Amino acid sequence: MVKYGEIALKGLNKSTFEDMLQKNIKRRLKDLGQFEYFRKQSTIYVTPPEGADMDVIVKRLSYIFGIGAIQRCAVFPKDFAAVAEGAEEYLRSALECAKTFKVEAKRSDKAFPMKTPDIQQELGGVVLSHFPHLKVDVHDPEVTVRLEIRDNGAYLGAERIVGAGGMPVGSSGKALLMLSGGIDSPVAGYMMAKRGLVVDCIHYVSPPYTSERAQMKVEALCEKMTNYCGDIKFYCVPFTEIQEALRDNCPEEYFTVLMRRLMVKIANKICERDGYGAIITGESVAQVASQTLTALYCTNEAAEYPVFRPVIGMDKKEIIEISRKIETYETSTLPYEDCCTVFSPKHPRTKPRIEDVKAAEQSYDFDSMIEKAVAETEVKRFRCGEQTIDLFD
């Protein structure tokens, strides 16, 4: 039983979000066999094929945004005697090593003859008769046995997994994530996918100043992110000529903010061409010189689309905690350089004035270089479940 998260709070357009969530579930489980699906009472019922690996199914479901909880359960006829007869066998793995438990019941079918308190009391007695070592703890039990009487059957379970929450990917449009090789940007992408955005990635490379291993590192991050984001289109932008032109023609102290502006201008072009509605970055206020308020303003001024910065108010510890959760931290901390460190100024201007930044930018013809970089951008697609890049061997 797949229980909704925020979707349950939606109004007249709730079915649109339900459709999208069910499509995402079908897409993630497609290669595991022929499943049966139906929806009712803010729940998607997923029936796996015979012999399916339930642990794999639950793990995949746990990555899907829009799901509030996943309830593994056995389905019985709406007859308490049938539930009582099958309870011992189904609940054994969950209860035989536990010390405490409680029973929760939900009687959605009001025609069922037993009231909710009676169901809980009787089922508790059945459990204790088969597992006499258990004690009841209604406040903090090791295991909660749940019985839901629904229109189409009685659902018994003792394993409830918290879902990924958020909104179904694809329900809020699509955006382009400026993906570096660091810790912050994959977290930013994860957080915006949780709000229902399709997240694709753009990355800038500067060979020979950046290595092939550095690009492989970022592609490995893309693969990791597909667990939550689904399939990801990856744009790899050649940036060497632009960075060399910046080095040779612009004041060194403005190099970082100018580089960010030109990256954003390239992202603008791809957003316009391929239909993205926003740009996502992993910037956090005051973390580095390019992330002061005035520097962020100078970067924003170059953007033609909304710029989402979901980690803007988080400290590094909070960002690292999320990166560990989504399993990108170890890859992000591999010691391969990215283009942001190329020609890094010794004393970057932390409070640049937009007039000075624009004057420096206009001192050279970067527009033609931007067009050339967009034209030479390589595109790959990373598909969920097809992880192949290993940088740890």
The full set of domains in the chain, from first to last, is: 2-162 (3.30.2130.30), 174-382 (3.40.50.620)
Pair of tokens at residue 227: 């667990």
Say yes or no to pLDDT of 360 above 60.
yes
pLDDT of residue 318: 96
pLDDT at 74: 94
Check if the beta carbon of residue 122 is closer than 8 Å to that of residue 114: yes
| Whole-model pTM over 0.95 | no
pLDDT of 290 above 70:
no
Residue 222: pLDDT above 60? yes
User: What's the confidence (pLDDT) of residue 224?
Assistant: 95
Q: What is the mean pLDDT of residues 146-160?
A: 93
Q: Are 387 and 279 in contact (CB under 8 A)?
A: no
Mean pLDDT in residue range 80-102: 95
Name, in order, each residue with C-beta under 8 angstroms of 133's C-beta and a sequence gap of 6 or more.
Answer: 99
Tell me the pLDDT band of 10, cut-offs 50, 70 and 90: confident
Q: Can you give the pLDDT at residue 336? A: 77
Residue 6: exposed, middle, or buried by beta-carbon count in 10 A (0-12, 13-18, 19+)?
A: middle
